[in-house]
């Protein structure tokens, strides 16, 4: 269990967002904990693993969302579903006020599916200790 007051994070994006994710991790507390969701296609899988696995603090896990070549889903749809599921699990409106804030950064700027998911989650997150940032 991390010490009280440490930051729970969710960082999400695609291969192009790795430099930003690494930067956030480098500037985080050594006791940061949480998840990274990264949507990649099968060609990018080795690159994503190599770039991120050495950078992860002990309390942060990486989930690679693999989009196979020729997949019927558009880029970003896997990530949008993962974000919605994460919010359902972690961002309950019933969360105690002293539970601490959760920082959520979402990239994948070129994805309409991710944009739509973030807009839909915005109203729900307004009643929780989650701070959603997109840039």
Q: What DSSP letter does each residue of 48-117 carry, written as one string?
A: HHHHHHTT--TTEEEEEEEE-TT-SSPTTHHHHHHHHHHHHHH--TT--GGG--EEEEE--TT-HHHHHH
pLDDT of the residue at 13: 95
pLDDT of the residue at 99: 52
pLDDT of the residue at 93: 58
Residue 6 CA, chain-centre distance (Å), reads: 17
Contact 24, 11 (CB under 8 A): yes
| Partners of 131 in beta bridges | 103
pLDDT of the residue at 4: 46
pLDDT of the residue at 79: 95
pLDDT of the residue at 114: 95
**Which fold does the domain 7-134 belong to in CATH?**
Rossmann fold (3.40.50)
Contact 10, 34 (CB under 8 A): yes
* pLDDT < 70 stretches in the chain: 1-6, 71, 92-100, 135
Domain parsing of the chain, residue ranges: 7-134
pLDDT of the residue at 69: 76
pLDDT of the residue at 92: 64
Strand order in the sheet with 60-67: 60-67, 33-41, 8-14, 102-106, 130-134
12: exposed, middle or buried (C-beta count within 10 Å: 0-12, 13-18, 19+)?
A: buried
pLDDT tens column, 56-68: 888 899 999 998 7
Nearest to 88 by CA among 80, 76, 77, 99: 80
pLDDT of the residue at 128: 78
pLDDT of the residue at 14: 93
């Amino acid at each position: 269990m991390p010490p009280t007051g440490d930051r729970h994070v969710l960082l999400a994006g695609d291969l192009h967002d790795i430099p930003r994710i690494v930067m956030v991790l480098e500037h985080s507390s050594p006791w940061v904990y949480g998840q990274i969701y990264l949507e990649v296609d099968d060609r990018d899988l080795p690159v994503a693993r190599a770039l991120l696995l050495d950078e992860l603090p002990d309390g942060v896990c990486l989930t690679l969302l693999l989009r196979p070549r020729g997949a019927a889903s558009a880029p970003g749809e896997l990530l949008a579903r993962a974000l919605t599921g994460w919010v359902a699990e972690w961002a309950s409106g019933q969360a105690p006020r002293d539970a601490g804030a959760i920082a959520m950064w979402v990239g994948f700027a070129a994805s309409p599916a991710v944009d739509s998911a973030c807009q839909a989650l915005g109203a729900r997150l307004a009643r929780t200790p989650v701070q959603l940032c997109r840039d």
